[in-house]
Structure 1
Amino acid sequence: MILDANDIPAGTELQADLCIAGAGAAGITLALALEASGLDVILLESGGDAAEPAVQQLYTGTVAHARLHPPADSYRVRRFGGSTTLWGGRCMPLDAIDFEARDYMPHSGWPIGLDALMPWYGQANALCEAGEFAYTAEQAFARADPPSRPMIGNFESDVFSTNTLERFSCPTDFGARYRNRLAKGRVRVVQHANLCHLPQTHGATRLVGPAQVKTLDAKAFTVAARAYVLATGGLEVPRLLLNSPGVSGNGLGNAHDVVGRYYMSHIAGTIGTLDLSGASSVWHGYDVSDEGIYCRRRLALRPQAQHDLHAGNFIARLHHPRIPDAGHGNGILSALYLARPIVPYEYAKRLYGDAPGGVGNWLAHARNVIMDAPNTVRFLTHWLTHRTLATRKFPSVIVRPANLRFSLDFHAEQAPCEDSRVTLGDERDALGMRRIHIDWRYTRQDVETVTRSLAALAQEIERTGVGSFAYDPAEVEAEMTRYGAYGGHHIGTARMGDDPRSSVVDANGRLHEADNVFIAGAAVFPTSGQANPTLSIVALALRLADHLQRQANLSTLPVPVTSTSSTAL
């Protein structure tokens, strides 16, 4: 059922076996997975079904380096469905190497391996509506007739593969897609409910609760649950923990000052000119699987090459020339430039960067559109029918240069850094909670990952005779930081590990310092890998749901009741 916190009397104490905070990909997945568990579950969501400026404003904070990190309230959405109301739908699993402790990657190593997530990835794919769990061309297109095209004909390399895939969700808005199912189910979804404080019992019990909840209208009530799951995202999780003092007084789960540290995103950029005129064929567009899923190949640095180069995980895609430069002469790209005023910030930042302005540049793009009118019209017609009006949207702009000269779009693992962190600022929001301060940093290892990977790719392109890759190595660091921390990938701020001195939660996502608080989402990732995090967030949430249902034995934990106004709403 779906309730509104504004309809709950002030001072009420709701009781449940489990209280989940945050109705994004992780929280909704948990709620769906536990529907038939027999557990009494409450799912708290700060927003409602639609965007509300006053609610979104709760996400604002400060940023140490505005050039390196977007504003705190961008790339995440405080409403039912969370950031799945905004995401682009790109899905792929983590790789086995991402879980390894690597001597060249500081603070690497998960307490679990890829095998711990494999039982859940198939179901995660289904919830994300990304088709079957098949992430190589051989798996996804085994029955294709004619056979699927190679990405780069005659490119055979022991350093880079070209057969791994990205699969694309609709993209699925978890709030819209699963609302009716939750409305008819046993889970109590409470919208406009802001979890503000998790008090921890002093003494030997190591229990937390009841949770203190507020609405923007200053109404307060509590949720007394046997256990709590924080599924509020990689920036909000540390804010919630640090706003709750815990027994140490430094924040719940933060006795060793680890909460908020090791904050990662991904390193991404566009660089150079990749001339593939020597290849027997080139395919950089989307293939469509039997289930109608858009899939795309990419260049991926093989695991052994990562070890040999002492580089983090790295992938690259064939990309069109930079949109702001009217010198490309392409009407399609210029039409996208002219549409800049209506493109959301989260996409405009990556599409345009620090685009040149002025009347002259605008006229040059308008000239391209007119001179290339037939191609522009075809593209806009396709975009309207296959993107704007389609339920399953064509994922991105694909422009094939006639001379097969591409730029290279790369996406790389960021190394964990203890000084890259999220802390509390001095300002308070409308609920009285301290806002976050973000100090995202990159390291020399990040620069080396991109530098060594690009050099290896240039060598392999030349060795195989398919073309050439020209770029300025001196510009690598500037290019990889052009857009700063990549999008909404907020990773590592409550990392998983076996040692409480260097991690926040254990292998099951439970706080080291509390028996009844768990964290779901990318905050628990010890390393970022190369993959966009949503699919693995969903898989980990399914794994946590199984643990809560089968192993955590919540029935042995008491429900902390602190008032006489309890209700079974």
Structure 2
Amino acid sequence: MLLDANALPQDARLHADICIVGAGAAGIAMALTLAGSGLDVIVLEAGGQEPEPRTQALYEGTVEDAALHSPLDRYRQRQLGGSTTIWGGRCMPLDPIDFEARPYIVGSGWPIGPEDLAPYYPAANAWCEAGDYAYTIDEAFAGPRKPMLEGFVETHFSTHTLERFSCPTDFGGRYLQRLRTATDLRVILHANVTRLEMDESGEAIRHVEARALDGKAFTVAAGSVVLAAGGLEVVRLLLNSPGRTGRGVGNAHDVVGRYYMCHLAGTIGNIVLAPPRRAWHGYDVADDGTYCRRRLALRAEVQREQGIGNFVARLHHPRITDPAHGTAILSLLFLARAFVPYEYARRLHGDERVTVGAWLRHGLNVLRGVPSVAGFLWHWLRERTLAARKFPSIIVYPRSQRYSLDFHAEQEPNPESRVTLGTSVDELGMRRLHVDWRYTRQDVATVQKSLALLAADIRDSGIGEFDYDPGEVEREMTRYGAYGGHHIGTARMGDDPRTSVVDRNCRVHEVRNLYVAGAAVFPTSSQANPTLTLVALALRLARHLQARHAGGEPADPGSPA
């Protein structure tokens, strides 16, 4: 059922078997998996069903370098559904190499392996509404597909794997009716958790303290508490509660908030194909109707040989800000930049200064290409704005076979890249966050070596040239700073409490009834967007909690059906 903290009696004392803090992808998937299991579950969601500026402002904080990290109230939403209300829907599982302890990636190695998540990935795929769990060309398509790059010899890179796209599914909207009707599940909106109160032993959470912005305060006592509030807010909740040591709950070894990762992303160079070679950089539609896209994926054996992290790349349109591309659609996007959401405008336009003359040339591009603009707008209206399963992104087919390269790479876990408490407080009296995101020379090497290998593959295949400036690689990979809303590693999983926050079952090492769900627990970032894997981990945690509370094992790993 759906409740509101403002309607609760002042100082109410609620009780449940399990209390989940946060109703995003992880929290909602867990809650509905536990529904009907015989356990009483409470979910505390800080926001409402719609965006609320006053609530969103609680996410504000500070960053050490504004050029390297977005404001903390961007790329995450304090409302039912969390960041799934704004995500792009890209899904893919981690690669087996991502779980390995790699000597060239400091801090790498998961305490679980791909076999531990394999039973939960198909169900996670269903929760994300990304179609069948099929992430290779052979699995997803009944017949042959046109090659991504004609004549490309896959020496160091493969074009065989896919990324699949959710609708994109807003978990708060899509599963709202089930949240409302579940009789053993209480979802309390506008419930801002302000403190995790320990018991006398200092080894368990006695209760969770929560408040509504308008003053209502209440507590929830539960046998198990799960923090599913996102990779940044989990840190704030842990550090704003003193815990047994006074340094924050779960922070006896000063690990909470360290090893903060996002992804390394950028757009660089020009790929020019030699006629008659052709490229396919658009979306394929799988046999189940899901949009899929191929990419150039660095082979695992090459990563080991070269001593670098995971890396993928996609063919991309020319840089939008330069009107020399002569493409009406790209110039239209540039001129309409004020209407593009912040989360996407930054990647589309970057931080380049554009002259008045360039603005005029963009306008001429649009005027010369009115028919193509009209076709693009009609396609966008039909396949994106009005469609239930939306066309994932802008695809522009250049008149010449000339593309830029969009890359997405793994970031090395670094204990000096961290999230801490700042000096200011929010409306509820909680200290806000301060982010000091950092990258390493290993991160630069991953991108530099991967690009060089790709250039060699294209040249040696005899299909064209990939021209880029190696001296610009670091600038391009940090142009957008920490990429997007991928807040990873701040409460990392491991067997050693001195270098991790939670164990292999996502339980905080020093608190016997406190768990963390979400990308915060990832020890490494992979090249993959985190949503599919964090949902799979949440389903695995739900199964663990059912067993822990002797509520019975689920019939399957937690499918939404």
TM-score for the superposition, normalised by structure 2: 0.97
Partners in 1 of 2:96 and 2:274 — Cα distance? 34
Match of 1:218 among 215, 218, 223: 215
State the one-letter code of the partner of 1:424: L
Partners in 2 of 1:150 and 1:10 — Cα distance? 63
Partners in 1 of 2:162 and 2:276 — Cα distance? 20
State the one-letter code of the partner of 1:94: L
- State the SS of the aligned residue for 1:445: helix
State the one-letter code of the partner of 1:298: R
Equivalent in the alignment of 1:180:
177
Match of 1:382 among 379, 383, 386: 379
The alpha-carbon deviation at position 281 of structure 1 amounts to: 3.4
Match of 1:277 among 250, 255, 274: 274
The alpha-carbon deviation at position 466 of structure 1 amounts to: 1.3
| Superposed counterparts of 1:170-569, under 5 Å | 170-185=167-182, 186-203=184-201, 206-277=203-274, 280-551=277-548, 553=550
State the one-letter code of the partner of 1:412: A
- CA contact 2:37–2:551 (8 Å) conserved in 1: no
| Superposed counterparts of 1:119-130, under 5 Å | 119-130=119-130
Number of paired residues? 551
- CA contact 1:168–1:293 (8 Å) conserved in 2: yes
The alpha-carbon deviation at position 428 of structure 1 amounts to: 0.5
- CA contact 1:48–1:192 (8 Å) conserved in 2: yes
Q: For residues 485-536 of structure 1, what are the alpha-carbon distances to aligned partners after superposition, in whole Å with 9 as ceiling and x for unaligned? A: 0000000000000000000000000000000000000000000000000000
Q: For residues 243-278 of structure 1, what are the alpha-carbon distances to aligned partners after superposition, in whole Å with 9 as ceiling and x for unaligned? A: 011101100000000000000000000000111225
The alpha-carbon deviation at position 292 of structure 1 amounts to: 1.2
- State the SS of the aligned residue for 1:503: coil
State the one-letter code of the partner of 1:288: V
- State the SS of the aligned residue for 1:209: strand
State the one-letter code of the partner of 1:475: E
Unaligned runs of 5+ in 1: 556-569
Equivalent in the alignment of 1:559:
none
Q: Percent identity?
A: 63
The alpha-carbon deviation at position 355 of structure 1 amounts to: 3.5
Equivalent in the alignment of 1:560:
none
- State the SS of the aligned residue for 1:237: helix
Check if 1:59 corresponds to 2:79.
no
Partners in 2 of 1:355 and 1:7 — Cα distance? 49
Partners in 1 of 2:477 and 2:411 — Cα distance? 11
Q: For residues 187-229 of structure 1, what are the alpha-carbon distances to aligned partners after superposition, in whole Å with 9 as ceiling and x for unaligned? A: 10000001110012242x7211211111101211100111100
Partners in 2 of 1:454 and 1:382 — Cα distance? 33
The alpha-carbon deviation at position 70 of structure 1 amounts to: 0.3
Q: For residues 312-350 of structure 1, what are the alpha-carbon distances to aligned partners after superposition, in whole Å with 9 as ceiling and x for unaligned? A: 000000000011111111001011111111111111111
- CA contact 1:17–1:554 (8 Å) conserved in 2: no
- CA contact 1:332–1:375 (8 Å) conserved in 2: yes
- CA contact 2:236–2:433 (8 Å) conserved in 1: yes
- CA contact 1:153–1:279 (8 Å) conserved in 2: no
State the one-letter code of the partner of 1:167: R
State the one-letter code of the partner of 1:504: V
- State the SS of the aligned residue for 2:429: coil
State the one-letter code of the partner of 1:258: V
Q: Cα RMSD between the aligned structures?
A: 1.2
Partners in 2 of 1:310 and 1:40 — Cα distance? 48
Q: For residues 329-375 of structure 1, what are the alpha-carbon distances to aligned partners after superposition, in whole Å with 9 as ceiling and x for unaligned? A: 10010111111111111111111011434543322111100111221
- State the SS of the aligned residue for 1:528: coil
Equivalent in the alignment of 1:167:
164
Equivalent in the alignment of 1:109:
109
- State the SS of the aligned residue for 1:316: strand
TM-score for the superposition, normalised by structure 1: 0.95
Partners in 2 of 1:413 and 1:97 — Cα distance? 12
- CA contact 1:152–1:279 (8 Å) conserved in 2: no
- State the SS of the aligned residue for 1:448: helix
Equivalent in the alignment of 1:74:
74
- CA contact 1:496–1:524 (8 Å) conserved in 2: yes
Equivalent in the alignment of 1:14:
14
State the one-letter code of the partner of 2:48: G
State the one-letter code of the partner of 2:12: T
State the one-letter code of the partner of 1:57: A
Q: For residues 142-180 of structure 1, what are the alpha-carbon distances to aligned partners after superposition, in whole Å with 9 as ceiling and x for unaligned? A: x23xx2111112212231000110100010000000000
Partners in 2 of 1:403 and 1:365 — Cα distance? 19
- State the SS of the aligned residue for 2:103: coil
- State the SS of the aligned residue for 1:119: coil
- CA contact 1:10–1:219 (8 Å) conserved in 2: yes
- State the SS of the aligned residue for 2:48: coil
- State the SS of the aligned residue for 1:385: helix
Q: For residues 66-94 of structure 1, what are the alpha-carbon distances to aligned partners after superposition, in whole Å with 9 as ceiling and x for unaligned? A: 00000011000000000000000000000
Partners in 1 of 2:343 and 2:398 — Cα distance? 26
Check if 1:139 corresponds to 2:139.
yes
Equivalent in the alignment of 1:118:
118
The alpha-carbon deviation at position 279 of structure 1 amounts to: 6.5
Q: For residues 94-120 of structure 1, what are the alpha-carbon distances to aligned partners after superposition, in whole Å with 9 as ceiling and x for unaligned? A: 000000000000000000011111101
